[in-house]
A and B are shown apart, each in its own frame.
Chain A
């Protein structure tokens, strides 16, 4: 690999840094916001809940921290971790560096489902049925992709990926048509599509947690299989890997987790494709190193991006997808350059 640090030590350093980043993200998520509440007082309140010392937060401040910021923070951690690890897993399972969690149609399916809810259900705000329809749309889209391209699992993955492209295009055009035909709800649809953690609540967190945690565990456990898969389908099978089954398990888990995230926070781009690549640039190509670190880095990255999104132009918020790309792209370019220099 590229620098003087021996890979094992480098992985350890990266692991420590990623863990610190998650801790930093947690503190930033709780303490930063339009209402200034000192970090020390937030930590004091947290400790008092554990029976140590006394809280100095007013009831209103306590509500802001624990009913607004905390669920948003947890949602950010879950969404960032899920999107990043699903992207990394797909990149391995399909041996395609351009793969992201939306590869098989999750995003377009969820977009269509959400648009149907936002356009058809009258009233202000986001209808309660939106996440449900988004989730159903996402799973239906992956299901259709699977049926069309499923035979591709045996021989090549190209067929499945192309089926995903076809299904995505079809559903996106249907979604766009629906969106254009109802000018009244266009803004709502647009905001939903850009993705945001603003709607996070403890109940929405509780709803998606089982899917997301389950999917993350499956993806991380699949790392060893993905390492074998790096020698291609045929050789993997000759080495004893049930390629078809591994890919099916990974797709089902990633789709459930991603669909759950998307149904709760909309379409957040960039995290799923760039975070795993950034981690790969630092720790090498083994998925046993990439995926666990991707979980941490994805979680921290999305929370930091969200903290920026809700503070830079407070009280209004920047779309989260804009911030992830705006912050993430330069960081990634720097990493690429650093890796290139080291490789020489």
Chain B
């Protein structure tokens, strides 16, 4: 369970996250959506303990993350960053094993329990064939799966993902989110994620929170939020929700008159 209480994060005089309250029930998936600059990344980074809030607090499993040491926090919350740093020359296995740092500490090496945990995650995410590969040589999809594996190896009850599908093709986007969904359903992991793709946000999350200018604008069941007229208003774009095989597909609709395109195209061909 994640409880965000009146969280405020500033950068200089700019307020990035403004008194946000948010509760994510255990074993559920909450996705934060919002236009660029809404404060999504800042919010999840604050939940992961990477940003010190000016006000408010973040609680996980009834414990305040604020005063926690890095090591204790890393055993409660794991982060999949938006742009993970890929260290060249590191094998996939070793990269995933970094997730156990908070468990075995820095002076003692990995214990057999740590190795078991790493092996188990690598097996579950079908990374066995890649274990010896250099992470820098992986494809986008493989790499992102490896980053998720590292987060899962931390063995935390909460996993925070910041735009985990960035740079992936549609198949790998779906595959990655299914994999995270399985963790929620099978292992009871609590997920807080940010996503730009409203369709995927609607299909995978239990709950969606719409953030704009650092404030929570909408907060509710995924099906309701994607249909709320406020959503299109905040994105300043026309949106339609189409149901395909019982699932919501959110489609942006162009509002510029089509004639303009035709005209430009014809002058283009005339040249």
A interface residue numbers (CB < 8 A to B): 1, 221-222, 224-225, 227-228, 230-232, 234-235, 237-243, 246, 284-286
Contact = CB atoms under 8 A, between A and B. Distances in A.
B99 A239 contact: yes
Given A224-B109, A286-B90, A286-B94, A239 B101 contact: yes
A228 B78 contact: no
Interface string B216-234: 0000000000000000000
Contacts of A238: 48-50, 74, 77-79, 81
B73 A240 contact: yes
6 contacts: A227-B94, A231-B98, A239-B98, A240-B71, A240-B72, A242-B71
A294 to B, nearest CB: 16
A7 B134 CA distance: 12
Most buried by A among B71, B79, B84, B101: B101
Nearest to A242: B70
B106 interface: yes
B271 interface: no
Nearest to B95: A231
Interface string B65-85: 000011111110111010011
Q: From A1, A221, A234, name the one whose CB has the most chain B CB atoms within 10 angstroms.
A: A234
A156 B89 CA distance: 23
B62 interface: no
A158 B90 CA distance: 24
Contacts of B81: 234-235, 238
Contacts of A221: 107
Number of contact residues on B: which range applies? 20 to 34
Contacts of B99: 239
B87 A230 contact: yes
Contacts of A240: 70-75, 101-102, 154
B84 A241 contact: no
B88 interface: yes
A241 B84 CA distance: 16
Counting chain A CB atoms within 10 Å of each CB, the highest count among B70, B72, B81 belongs to B70
A1 B73 CA distance: 34
Nearest to A223: B106
A285 B71 contact: no
B83 to A, nearest CB: 10
A1 B89 contact: yes
A243 B69 CA distance: 11
B168 to A, nearest CB: 19
Nearest to B91: A7
B85 A285 contact: no
> Closest 8 A-B residue pairs measured CB to CB?
A240-B102, A240-B74, A285-B89, A230-B87, A232-B85, A238-B79, A240-B71, A231-B85
Contact of B84 (A228, A231, A246, A284): A231
Contacts of A243: 70
A237 B87 contact: no
- Most chain B CB neighbours (cut-off 10 Å) among A232, A235, A285: A235
Contacts of A227: 90, 94, 98
B151 to A, nearest CB: 9
Nearest to B90: A285
Interface centre among A227, A232, A238, by most B CB within 10 Å? A238
Interface string B130-156: 000010000000000000001000100
B85 A235 contact: yes
A251 to B, nearest CB: 16
A239 B150 CA distance: 9
Given A228-B101, A240-B70, A240-B71, A285 B107 contact: no
A222 B94 CA distance: 17
A178 B71 CA distance: 49
B107 A235 contact: no
B74 A239 contact: yes
Contacts of B98: 227-228, 231, 239
Given A237-B70, A240-B75, A241-B70, A285 B88 contact: yes
Contact of A230 (B48, B69, B90, B107): B90
Nearest to B154: A239
A142 to B, nearest CB: 23
Nearest to A229: B87
Contacts of B73: 240
Contacts of A286: 89-90, 94
A225 B74 contact: no
A64 B88 CA distance: 49
A284 B87 CA distance: 12
A243 B70 CA distance: 9
A227 B90 CA distance: 9
Interface in B180-204: none
Contacts of A1: 89, 134
A238 B158 CA distance: 12
A284 B45 CA distance: 32
A239 B69 contact: no
Contacts of B134: 1
